[in-house]
């Protein structure tokens, strides 16, 4: 049995309601994607800053061992403590967990590298000498990330140490 009541508005969705819904989605979706991307970047930066002190300590230990020629990474640095392009102190690559991958070529450091299979992220370490005094050499260990970007576009965490 039918009820004799009929609505005065037609059934369905109006064009205005449809346009408003699409406009809301057009704004909401890009904003949510941008927020997720930003959160991912912050996670990557936090991970790098967590690993950086351990990596810097490892590099410092290798530099101290390079004096006597017992360094597994650098061997014996001829011009140590002055680090220059010809000194043999190549940039180093470290994996996401902070373990050493090995020395890198200058081209790899400048242009970046894609992570290999099984490694999500790689950190780079570059060395620089700012000054030498009677007390020792002030060495800056720069940990740069992400490795996929060119050197000028990476974020860096710097550690300074005085090597006697």
Domains identified in the chain, total number: 1
In a domain, 61, yes or no: yes
In a domain, 134, yes or no: yes
CA 22 – CA 124 distance, rounded (Å): 45
Mean pLDDT, residues 75-84 taken together: 60
In a domain, 138, yes or no: yes
- Residue 83: which domain range? 51-163
Within 10 angstroms of residue 68's Cβ, the number of other Cβ atoms is 8
Q: Which residues of 84-116 are buried (b: 16+ CB within 10 A; e: fewer)?
A: eeebbbbbbbbbbeeebbebbeeebbeebbeee
In a domain, 40, yes or no: no
In a domain, 142, yes or no: yes
13-33 residue pLDDT tens: 788 888 999 999 999 988 888
Choose between 126 and 158: higher pLDDT: 158
In a domain, 20, yes or no: no
Q: State residue 26's pLDDT score.
A: 92
Tokens 């060495």 locate to 139
Mean pLDDT, residues 2-11 taken together: 63
Could you tell me the pLDDT band of residue 88, with boundaries at 50, 70 and 90? low
120-139 residue pLDDT tens: 567 777 777 667 778 877 88
In a domain, 135, yes or no: yes
Q: State residue 151's pLDDT score.
A: 79
């Amino acid at each position: 049995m039918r009820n004799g009541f009929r609505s005065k508005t037609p059934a369905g969705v109006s064009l205005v309601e449809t346009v408003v819904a699409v406009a809301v989605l057009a704004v909401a979706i890009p904003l949510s994607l941008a927020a997720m991307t930003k959160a991912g970047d912050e996670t990557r930066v936090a991970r790098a800053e967590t690993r950086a002190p351990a990596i810097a300590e490892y590099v410092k230990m290798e530099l101290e061992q390079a004096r006597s020629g017992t360094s597994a990474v650098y061997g014996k640095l001829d011009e140590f403590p002055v680090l220059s392009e010809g000194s043999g102190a190549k940039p180093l690559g470290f994996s996401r967990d902070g373990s050493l991958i090995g020395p890198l070529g200058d081209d790899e450091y400048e242009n970046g590298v894609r992570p290999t299979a099984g490694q999500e992220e790689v950190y780079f370490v570059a060395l620089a000498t700012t000054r030498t005094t009677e007390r020792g050499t002030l060495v800056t260990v720069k940990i740069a990330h992400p490795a996929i970007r060119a050197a000028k576009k990476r974020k860096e965490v710097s550690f300074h140490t005085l090597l006697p």
